[in-house]
């Protein structure tokens, strides 16, 4: 096999010297050609020899000088690079022994000097588990010649420490292309991973008590139900509400109330087994899940134990507080086969316990539950509502924080019941999901809302962004892409003015399918937002993966801003996260000037809530769009002239 020899370029002075010496040799040959060979042969040979030797020596000196100069420059550059790069850079031989590492790598390994790493392996530095994995990866790179790029690795140390790095490893080759080892770079991402864990924890746990919140409760109950179904076992769900807790807040203040809730949560955990579930839904409502509820007697024993524990006085900030609680109990599978049904049953039984005098517990029965009867009637009426056109849309303004201008509206579904009037959305929308009617109703919402925006535009009003909620059923089973294309074509609304709001839990179901549908929607030109951000299984990787334009901060965090510092941290983190990822951000449920002031200081670009306006019928919203753009000025303490000079924010459109 032929090998290419790289010869450095020879400068002009070397060529000149060589030419001069060659000329001396040729002149000597010509001169001596005119003399007899015998007379000057010795002198001639000496001259030739001296010239040739001189030529060779000078050439070698020049070449060596050039090679040394180039080698020194490359060595100096490498030394500077390894000395100052803030990441761990390493070179290893075929046996995964370190040949050289960066200064930052030595610091990371706890070595005083990079030279101390030479001939060491990962087994000399890390735990055996991490060392074995690193060796396996590097052997595979040497065997296949294929690099490992952007791999998140958890490094574990002999003393139990853990940290995360983003690692790239590639084959190390010599000048002939032969693999002689591996080289790589590792960037410490521990802070990012910890932030991700923290956001996830805050999203799934109650900020005050640290107990699981509704999202995590639903997940754990779902797992318990699946296990019980497999083993034909029972589960009990206990809904607990503190009696007259509002009196504590009103008389002693929210600080005492919060401390009381924290103390209650500790007593509840002390009453239960490690396998039991305890969560806080909000306010003074707690839920206990008993995955191994063998019979009613065992369930009653736990309920009575909880009531007895809570009946002991609490000492909070110098006050002795005596409270009681009411408990409602539902069971799987007798009272329901889904977590939501069990929670509803326990809730109905809990209110029956309150009616029975409080400080007691009550088992769920269909006869006792007015909520159950009400639900059944609503289910029957919902089927007729779709055919009779009883649904209407209300529109809530989306307002720029900086200018106070209306940047868009969110279309919200309302049910005008012929007997009961307007039914709250939280009572009938879950029923639409359970009955499988959301794809049909969702299509009507999308078409009606787009028609309304087009109608306002024809009336001479400025076109604004339209946000429409999309349910999980509609997203996955309603052919959402085809529906959006058809509605936009029929109404003539430009895609850039339509924003589809997806719930956080929806985006985590069947992620590959979700990503495909999202990409098809983005190809149409519509915008995508993640609704109720922070209430589901939040993950930074999903924000990076999905083609989102906006995140919406859930109203629950805004509600706790005044009383819970942790809520401020969550809101601030979400706003900064959106800014860093290039996502617009909207805060939902803004009801007070204090909330608005905090959001404005955090540079949250858009708000939505009663501070500006509740959701309005189309005709009332039309009046607001024509004449009420600056209605927020009084609530914000800003003059109308200040607002009128502000430009319409870029967030009015999704690009």
For 42-103, give the DSSP string.
HHHHHHHHHHHHHHHHHHHHHHHHHHHHHHHHHHHHHHHHHHH-SSEEEEEETT--EEEE-H
Per-residue confidence (pLDDT) for residue 142, from 0 to 100: 93
Gap between the Cα atoms of 571 and 534, Å rounded: 9
Which of 50, 80, 110 is the endpoint of a domain? 80
Give yes or no for residue 135 having a pLDDT over 90.
yes
Contact present, 588 and 599 (Cβ < 8 Å): no
Last residue of a domain, one of 27, 51, 80: 80
In a domain, 1, yes or no: no
Q: How many residues does the chain have?
A: 655
Task: Give the mean model confidence (pLDDT) for residues 198-218.
Answer: 90
pLDDT of residue 99: 92
- Average the pLDDT over 362-368 and give the result: 85
Regarding whether 316 and 238 lie in a shared domain, the answer is yes
- At 642 the pLDDT is 46
Confidence at 378, pLDDT banded by 50, 70, 90: confident
**216-233 average pLDDT score:** 92
In a domain, 109, yes or no: yes
Same domain, 227 and 316: yes
Q: Is it the case that residue 14 has pLDDT exceeding 70?
A: no
- The pLDDT tens digits of the residues spanning 111-132 come to 999 999 999 999 999 998 889 9
What CA–CA distances, in Å, run from 551 to 241, 242, 577?
33, 35, 10
Dist CA 121 CA 517 (whole Å): 47
Give the pLDDT score at 639.
Answer: 46
User: Using an 8 Å Cβ cutoff, are 393 and 445 in contact?
Assistant: yes
Q: For the chain, what is the mean pLDDT?
A: 82
Per-residue confidence (pLDDT) for residue 410, from 0 to 100: 96
* 304 and 433 assigned to the same domain: no
Which residues make beta-bridge pairs with 329? 238, 363
What integer pLDDT is reported at residue 372 of this predicted model? 64
Same structural domain, 89 and 74: no
Domain membership of residue 455 (yes or no) is yes
Q: How far is CA 363 from the centre of its chain?
A: 40
Query: What pLDDT is attached to residue 51?
Result: 47
- More confident of the two residues 38 and 332: 332
Q: Residues 421, 424, 428, CA angle at the centre, nearest 5°? A: 100
In the predicted model, what is the mean pLDDT of residues 21-44? 47
Look up tokens 């923290």; give the residue: 198
The pLDDT of residue 236 is 95
> Of 252 and 493, which is predicted with more confidence?
493
Q: What is the mean pLDDT of residues 638-642?
A: 47
Contact between 234 and 332 under an 8 Å Cβ cutoff? The reply is yes
| Mean pLDDT score, 148-176 | 90
Q: Give the DSSP letter string of 486-504.
A: HHHHHH---GGGEEEEEEH
State whether 542 and 516 are in the same domain.
yes
d(Cα 328, Cα 363) in Å, to the nearest integer?
6
Strand ranges (E), 228-274: 235-242
Count structural domains, the chain.
Answer: 4
Domain boundary, last residue among 30, 65, 80? 80
Joined together, the tokens standing for residue 467 give: 């946000």
d(CA 1, CA 483): 65
637 to 190, 594, 631: CA distances (angstroms): 43, 11, 11
- Do 441 and 581 lie in one domain? The reply is yes
| DSSP 3-state of 403 | coil
SS3 121: coil
Tell whether 2 is covered by a domain.
Answer: no
Q: Supply 127's token pair.
A: 């735990």
* Domain at 147, CATH number: 3.30.450.20
Q: Which of 94-108, 329-343, 482-496, 543-557 has the lowest mean pLDDT?
A: 543-557
For the entire predicted model, the pTM comes to: 0.51
582 and 457 assigned to the same domain: yes
Closest CA to 553 of 594, 596, 516, 513: 596
Q: Supply the pLDDT for residue 15.
A: 44
The pLDDT of residue 29: 46
Lowest mean pLDDT among 7-16, 44-53, 554-563, 606-615: 7-16
Where does the pLDDT of residue 145 fall: very low under 50, low under 70, confident under 90, or very high at 90 and above? Answer: very high
User: Taking a C-beta distance cutoff of 8 angstroms, is the pair 603, 585 a contact?
Assistant: no
* Position 7 in a domain: no
Lowest mean pLDDT among 340-349, 555-564, 622-631: 622-631
Burial profile 601-618: b = 16 or more Cβ within 10 angstroms, e = fewer: ebebbbbbbebbbebbeb
Same domain as 608, residue 541: yes
Percentage of the chain exceeding pLDDT 70: 80
- The residue-averaged pLDDT of 233-248 equals 88
Q: What is the pLDDT of residues 271-300, one digit of tens each?
A: 999 899 999 998 899 999 999 887 889 999
Helix (H, G, I), strand (E, B) or coil at 361: strand
Predicted confidence at residue 43, as pLDDT, reads: 52
The pLDDT-based confidence of 65 (bands split at 50, 70, 90) is low
- Asked if the structure places residue 213 within a domain, the reply is yes
Q: Average pLDDT in the 467-481 region?
A: 84
For the chain, percent of residues with pLDDT exceeding 90? 46
Q: For residues 16 and 229, which has the higher predicted lDDT (pLDDT)?
A: 229
pLDDT digits (tens, 9 = 90+) for 382-427: 888 877 889 999 999 999 998 888 999 999 999 999 888 888 888 8
Whether residue 308 is contained in a domain is answered as: yes
Which CATH number belongs to the domain containing residue 214 in this structure?
A: 3.30.70.270
Residue pointed to by tokens 């779709």: 386
In tens, the pLDDT along 437-464 reads 888 899 999 999 999 999 999 988 988 9
pLDDT tops 60 at residue 185: yes
**Residues 232 and 351 reside in one and the same domain:** yes
Judged by DSSP in three states, 401 sits in: coil
The answer to whether 406 and 464 are in contact (CB under 8 A) is yes
Domain that holds residue 102: 85-188
Q: What is the pLDDT of residue 391?
A: 93
State the pLDDT at residue 599: 92
Distance (Å, rounded) from C-alpha 398 to C-alpha 411? 11
2 against 367, higher pLDDT: 367
512 & 634 share domain: yes
Distance between CA atoms of 454 and 46, rounded to whole angstroms?
104
Name the pLDDT band for 535 (thresholds 50, 70, 90).
Answer: low
Whether the Cβ atoms of residue 187 and residue 87 lie closer than 8 Å to each other = yes
Query: Mind listing the pLDDT tens digit for each residue in 306-326?
Result: 999 999 999 988 888 888 999
Which residues in 471-576 belong to E strands, given as ranges? 498-503, 527-533, 550-553
442 phi and psi angles, rounded to 5 deg: -60, -35
CB 471 within 8 A of CB 442: yes
Same domain, 268 and 404: no
Q: What is the pLDDT of residue 108?
A: 92
Question: Per the domain annotation, does 655 fall within a domain?
Answer: no
State the pLDDT confidence band at 2, using cuts at 50, 70 and 90. very low
- State how far the alpha carbon of 476 is from the alpha carbons of 501, 620, 639, in Å: 14, 34, 47
Give CA–CA dist 38/52, Å, rounded.
22
Mean pLDDT of 198-227: 91
- Reported for 195-201, long-range contacts at CB under 8 A and 24+ positions apart, including other chains, are 195/540, 195/573, 196/539, 196/540, 199/534, 199/538, 199/540, 199/570, 199/573, 199/577, 200/537, 200/538, 200/539
* Residue 448 to residue 455: CA distance in whole angstroms: 10
Residue 217: closest CA among 268, 288, 291, 285: 288
Rounded to the nearest 5°, which phi and psi values hold at 332? Answer: -95, 135
How far apart are the C-alpha atoms of 69 and 295, rounded to whole Å? 87
Task: Tell me, yes or no, whether 354 and 423 share the same domain.
Answer: no
CATH code of the domain covering residue 439: 3.20.20.450
**pLDDT at position 515 over 50:** yes
Candidates 588, 571, 510; CA nearest to 546 is: 510
């Amino acid at each position: 096999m032929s090998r290419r020899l790289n010869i450095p370029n020879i400068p002009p002075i070397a060529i000149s010297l060589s030419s001069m010496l060659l000329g001396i040799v040729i002149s000597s040959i010509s001169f001596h050609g005119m003399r007899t060979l015998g007379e000057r042969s010795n002198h001639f040979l000496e001259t030739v020899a001296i010239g040739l030797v001189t030529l060779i020596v000078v050439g070698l000196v020049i070449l060596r000088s050039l090679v040394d100069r180039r080698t020194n420059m490359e060595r100096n550059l490498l030394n500077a690079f390894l000395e100052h790069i803030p990441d761990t850079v390493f070179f290893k031989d075929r046996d995964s022994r370190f040949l050289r590492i960066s200064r930052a790598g030595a610091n990371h390994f706890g070595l005083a000097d990079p030279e101390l790493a030479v001939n060491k392996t990962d087994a000399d530095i890390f735990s055996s588990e991490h060392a074995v994995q690193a060796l396996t990866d590097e052997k595979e790179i040497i065997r296949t010649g294929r690099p490992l790029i952007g791999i998140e690795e958890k490094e574990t140390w002999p003393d139990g420490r853990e940290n995360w790095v983003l690692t790239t490893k590639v084959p190390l080759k010599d000048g002939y292309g032969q693999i002689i080892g591996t080289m790589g770079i590792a960037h410490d991402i521990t802070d990012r991973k910890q932030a991700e864990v923290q956001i996830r924890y805050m999203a799934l746990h109650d900020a005050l008590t640290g107990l699981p919140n509704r999202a995590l409760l639903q997940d754990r109950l779902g797992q318990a139900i699946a296990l019980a179904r497999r083993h034909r076992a029972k589960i009990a769900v206990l809904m607990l509400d503190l009696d007259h807790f509002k009196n504590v807040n009103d008389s002693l203040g929210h600080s005492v109330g919060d401390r009381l809730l924290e103390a209650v949560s500790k007593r509840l955990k002390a009453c239960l087994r490690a396998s039991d579930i305890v969560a806080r839904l909000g306010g003074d409502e707690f839920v206990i899940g008993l995955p191994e509820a063998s019979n009613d007697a065992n369930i009653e024993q736990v309920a009575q134990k909880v009531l007895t524990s809570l009946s002991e006085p609490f000492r909070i900030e110098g006050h002795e507080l005596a409270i009681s609680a009411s408990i409602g109990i539902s069971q799987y599978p007798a009272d329901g086969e889904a977590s939501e049904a069990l929670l509803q049953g326990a809730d109905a039984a809990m209110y029956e316990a309150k009616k029975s005098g409080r400080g007691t517990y009550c088992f769920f029965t269909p006869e006792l539950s007015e909520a159950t009867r009400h639900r059944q009637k609503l289910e029957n009426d919902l089927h007729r509502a779709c055919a009779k056109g009883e649904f209407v849309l209300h529109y809530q303004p989306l307002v720029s924080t900086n200018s106070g201008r209306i940047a868009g509206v969110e279309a919200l579904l309302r049910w005008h019941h012929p007997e009961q009037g307007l039914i709250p959305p939280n009572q009938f929308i879950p029923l639409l999901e359970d009955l499988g009617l959301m794809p049909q109703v969702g299509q009507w919402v999308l078409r009606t809302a787009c028609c309304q925006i087009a109608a306002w535009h024809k009336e001479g009003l400025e076109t604004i962004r339209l946000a429409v909620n999309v349910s999980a059923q509609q997203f996955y089973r309603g052919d959402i892409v085809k529906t959006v294309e058809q509605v936009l074509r029929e109404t003539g609304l430009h895609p850039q003015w339509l924003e589809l709001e997806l719930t956080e839990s929806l985006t985590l179901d069947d992620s590959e399918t979700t990503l495909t549908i999202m990409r098809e929607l983005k190809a149409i030109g519509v915008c995508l937002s993640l609704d109720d951000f922070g209430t589901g299984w939040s993950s930074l990787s999903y924000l990076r993966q999905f083609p989102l334009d906006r995140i919406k901060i859930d109203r629950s965090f805004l509600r706790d801003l005044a009383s819970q510092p942790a809520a401020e941290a969550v809101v601030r983190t979400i706003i900064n996260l959106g800014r860093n990822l290039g996502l617009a951000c909207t805060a939902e449920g803004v009801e007070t000037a204090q909330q608005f002031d905090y959001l404005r200081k955090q540079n949250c670009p858009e708000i939505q809530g009663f501070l500006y306006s509740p959701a309005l019928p189309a005709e009332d919203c039309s009046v607001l769009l024509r004449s009420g753009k600056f209605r927020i000025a009084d609530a914000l303490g800003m003059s109308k002239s200040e607002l009128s000079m502000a430009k319409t924010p870029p967030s009015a459109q999704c690009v």
